[in-house]
Structure 1
Amino acid sequence: MFNVNLPSFFLVILLIQSSCANEDDVEDSMESESHESGIGESSPRLPVTPWRPQYFYGPMLPQHSPALIARTFPAFIPFTSCTSPNKETGICAESGACTRLGGRASGACPEGRICCINVVTNTCDDADRKVVTLDNTYWLSPTMGISSSTTGCALTVKLDAKLSEQRKAVCQVRLNFVLFTIAQPDTESVCNTDAFDVVGASNKIPTICGDNGGQHMYLNVPSSATSPTDLQLSFNFGTDSNPVRAWNILISMIPCDSPNLAPLDCLQYFTGRSGTVSSFNWRDVAGTDTRQLANQDYSICFKTIPGSRRTLCLAPCTVTSASLAFSISVSRTAGAVASPAGSSQLRPINCEKDYLVIPGGFNVGNPPSVNTMAFDRFCGENLNANAEVTALTSVCTTATPFRLLYRTSDDETEDKTAGVVDRGNLGFCLTFRNQ
């Protein structure tokens, strides 16, 4: 038998019941607070401990290294062109990066960036050979001019997808000749005093000289992601008592996936519906000096405009001087008898040395075919599909893709054996309409 003190036993039972009642009150109080704070009944309760506050932590921002930030948020946005208020072409960049690389701000870009205009000027000394790695860079001739003792001036365009300022494969480079004036060719149309050359392109780039402001060239290169390329642009100067030498060349890089790529083997590419196309060194100036350049062999291409009838028509430019808009070697017979002045070719077979090819070319209105119709090769002093014609007209073609071929010989001698010369040729200037 247990000896139980009943008064003490009943006292313990009362204390236990009181404790349980207090715990129920606490749970009821917490449940009431959860409903008032908007937390649903199914929401898990936060643990209640003395060392952890009762609130949710917000997500922490990822911490990146400076190198990763530079790769993710580049100072320059490669191949994002912009135009300054004074119509210069630049690249969107952060202000500090533009200044570090010697550029200048001119205009604004999205995301707080500026339009950075990049200019390279060298002194034409061998020790001052500049290297261009940034898209849309202008190459200027020395501001103090070029001394008579200077023999040349060169610049390197480095293409490499691993460079942070490129970061993308480049397949073409376009040269825009904003300003281009060096010595004229000699009477044989050869650039033997001054010359501009390009080395490193996979397509054929002719040597040019004279006045070429407003002209352009497309230089093809292997993809810079697999085969980095160094393009060499160079001026070579001969002896001349008082030459005028000045240039401003915009160097633009075109990525391999760009819709602006020119067709392969096209030295020039026109994307507009209409415009003007001319041979290098053609100018609307009076005079009988030879301006046609020797050793020209390149294609001129035109973009096919969606929705057009796919007809390309060309006509001689309007001139204000005594110059000719079309002057590509006066065609001669076997007996060295020239066609009448200001007329088209005698026959296509007489356009042997210098000529412009317009595939399937025909006079506007599509006249009946005649035996002397050119159809492809054009020369003489007037553009016309019919032979020995002085009348002006438009020559059209429906052969697509639209492409012209311009070819000249290595001198202006028509028949070296007979000593017949053909000098004073100017080249051509044509308006085109892509319709």
Structure 2
Amino acid sequence: MSQLCPLSIVFFMLAISYSSACGGTGAGFSVNGRNAENSIAYSDSMISYPWRSWNPYDPYRSQYQSIPRAPQDTAGVDGSISQYPYPGYIGSCRSSCTGEKGNCMDSQTCSLAGGRASGSCENGFVCCINVVNSCHSGWARHADTVILNNTYWQSSLRPIKPSSSCSLTVKLDSRWPAELPPPYPPQPFFTPVCQVRLDFLVFTISQPDSESVCSGDYFEVAGATNTVPNICGFNDGQHMYLHVPNSATTPTDLQLTFNFGSSNSEVRAWNILISMIPCDSPKLAPSGCLQYFTARTGTVRTFNWRDVTGTATRQLANQDYSICFRAAPTFPRQLCLTPCTVVTTQKAFSLSTPYAVIAGAATTSTSVPVPDVSQVGSLDCNNDFIVIPGGFNIANPAPVPNMAFDRYCGEKLNALPRNNASTTICTTATPFRVLYRTNRDETLTSPTADAALNSIPANGNRGFCLNFKV
């Protein structure tokens, strides 16, 4: 028995060492890496800490049990600020303990910034993870302003009140806040910021209504120079690039807001990584791009698309933005898009059911929907559609009358009109950019067409899920 004692001591010391390196306290070490202070925070809901770990299985989230998901762009983004000109900061980092992104700081500066040490950096610095919890409905007090790169904005640990809102300000000022005491006076950044990337690790609020409008809950952005549509529903793994003026010359505040409808039964939860991208970074998205994919392969989805069973509308109204892809460094350059493989009854491509005109008696005619086919003609996509400049079928079929090369809609992705099979669409037109547009509702403006659409209520638009290869 005595021979086991030294081994037990070794394991105990390793536990203390791991806990210390990952932000723990030794005595509070546990298998899930939470420290003692975090345990106190969860046991007493009235106690709140800015470094509280986000817990997807928190009892207040009993209806939403999920884990943070990887962003759509699996290649990631280097959203780091290269250097802050004060002694407590040396750059960005990723925690070896949790995988979270943070900032390399000395432990004192991390504490002053309200962060949580998780792992270590060079020269004795710690990887400081900054988390902001807000929307606590007055029961707790947290900062509602973000000044640090690599900050996680997480939803409240308690149910959110209906008919309320929750906002967070991202300050892109060229100076540190005056609250930092000496020896850290406000000083200018070395590297100005020109873009902010939002990674929706977790994002779920209410679904759109039958007209595809986010009439209950919705998320909105103010202060960006590019077009940012309001979104709702399920958006785990999605991302956005917010373009802003150069922070060194025109400091700008971004306002991120969740607005909640009157329903009291919705599941509302989010965990958003906010990354600030310097003006000289090679990772900047091209001008006007809301989404930017830098990997050679991957998947792009419209907001709220999800592989789930059901016929309800998932497409969102009033979407008008560009999706961009980084071209390969070699020639020939080509972007190809293929509808995803689904495991449920969900449609991988569903944008505006096309209509065909059927001649009637004398001068009358009727528009009737044509489900499960591509656009009927080149002028058919006027409501909801994507534009793939110079697109062509991978098989490169011979042109036929009304063949559409730029606009795509219907329920099959195909350049050939009224085709009942989806295929791969490619383009060589650079820069690689796809435009996505939806109108203000789910129905057409023609009363005859509306009546025809109402005759097939199961035909709600779903948006699209496309695998890409560059």
TM-score scaled by length of structure 1: 0.80
Matches within 5 A, 1:158-307: 158-163=171-176, 164=187, 166-307=189-330
Task: Confirm whether residue 336 of structure 1 aligns to residue 336 of structure 2.
Answer: no
8 Å Cα contact 1:295/1:410 also seen in 2: yes
1:136-175 Cα shifts (integer Å, max 9, x gaps):
0000000122133x51100000001222595431100000
8 Å Cα contact 1:195/1:208 also seen in 2: yes
Task: Confirm whether residue 372 of structure 1 aligns to residue 384 of structure 2.
Answer: no
Query: Match of 1:102?
Result: 114
8 Å Cα contact 1:133/1:165 also seen in 2: no
8 Å Cα contact 2:161/2:264 also seen in 1: no
Aligned residue pair count: 362
8 Å Cα contact 1:105/1:117 also seen in 2: yes
Task: Confirm whether residue 120 of structure 1 aligns to residue 132 of structure 2.
Answer: yes
Q: Quick one: percent identity of the two aligned structures?
A: 55
1:373-402 Cα shifts (integer Å, max 9, x gaps):
210100111111111112232110000000
Secondary structure of 1:336 counterpart: strand
Deviates more, 1:292-301 or 1:303-312: 303-312
Q: 1:389 corresponds to which letter in structure 2?
A: N
8 Å Cα contact 2:321/2:435 also seen in 1: yes
CA distance in 2, matches of 1:117, 1:398: 42
Q: 2:298 corresponds to which letter in structure 1?
A: G
Residues 349 and 431 of structure 1: CA distance in aligned 2, closer, same or farther (over 3 Å): same
* Pair member with larger Rg: 1
Task: Confirm whether residue 76 of structure 1 aligns to residue 67 of structure 2.
Answer: no
Task: Confirm whether residue 133 of structure 1 aligns to residue 164 of structure 2.
Answer: no
Matches within 5 A, 1:44-63: none
1:317-367 Cα shifts (integer Å, max 9, x gaps):
01000110001110113532222x321111121111000111111011322
**Equivalent of residue 319 in structure 1, options 327, 338, 342:** 342
Query: Match of 2:170?
Result: 157
CA distance in 1, matches of 2:265, 2:292: 35
Q: Offset at 1:71?
A: 7.7
Q: Offset at 1:370?
A: 2.0
CA distance in 2, matches of 1:124, 1:166: 32
CA distance in 2, matches of 1:417, 1:106: 60
CA distance in 2, matches of 1:231, 1:249: 14
**Equivalent of residue 332 in structure 2, options 292, 298, 309:** 309
Secondary structure of 2:355 counterpart: coil
Residues 189 and 362 of structure 1: CA distance in aligned 2, closer, same or farther (over 3 Å): same
Structure 2 runs not aligned, ≥5 long: 1-82, 177-186, 358-365
Q: Offset at 1:414?
A: 1.2
TM-score scaled by length of structure 2: 0.74
CA distance in 2, matches of 1:358, 1:161: 39
Q: Offset at 1:219?
A: 0.4
CA distance in 2, matches of 1:99, 1:241: 37
